[in-house]
Amino acid sequence: MLLLVVLPFLPELAISVVGGLAKIDGCVVDQKEVCLIAGVNVSSALSGLITAAVVIGSAFAWLGLAAVWLVMCYLVIVRGWVRLAARLLLALLVTAVFALLPYLAPGFAIAPFTNANCQPNEGGVGTCLIFGGNVGSAHHTVILQWLIFAGVPIALGTALACAIVIAVVRVRRTRAVKRSARSG
């Protein structure tokens, strides 16, 4: 279950790890020279990870990946937890996570790295220099946040549809058990 929830956010986690490693290695967010760790350009790595995070967030909204992902999570919850209260709480939590985080997490991930040389904005105005290299993809994280207006209805609609399906299945099972008890 946890893997299903964490998997879409691996780029954001990697952004934090790469940035943390750069700082441990002595690099400073607003330095002028390019930061290299084991010969790898940290800025290029961050740019690629940010692009991956933005693509995943966009797919969750525009391709309806949020609905598919939520259904998979709901199936795991229904199969893995017995108590109704636990199922409802987990379903609510997962719904909230996938209604908001795919669109907000990339911005949260790069927030510690913004500086005077990198102020992400919707217009993509100005270069974004992080650890000495241009990370222009950081600007897309600001635009991605607007997809919450698509993501929230997708998540809520999926939750409602799944709740209806589960209720119908439960009612049918209850009726079948009652019929078999009467006939048996």
Q: Which residues pair with 130 in a beta bridge?
A: 133
The torsion angle over the Cα atoms of residues 44, 46, 47 and 51, rounded to 10 degrees, is: 140
Are 95 and 159 a contacting pair, CB within 8 Å? yes
pLDDT tens-digit profile of 7-48?
A: 999 999 999 999 999 999 999 999 999 999 999 999 999 999
pLDDT tens-digit profile of 63-116?
A: 999 999 999 999 999 999 999 889 999 999 999 999 999 999 999 999 999 999
Residue 184's pLDDT is: 63
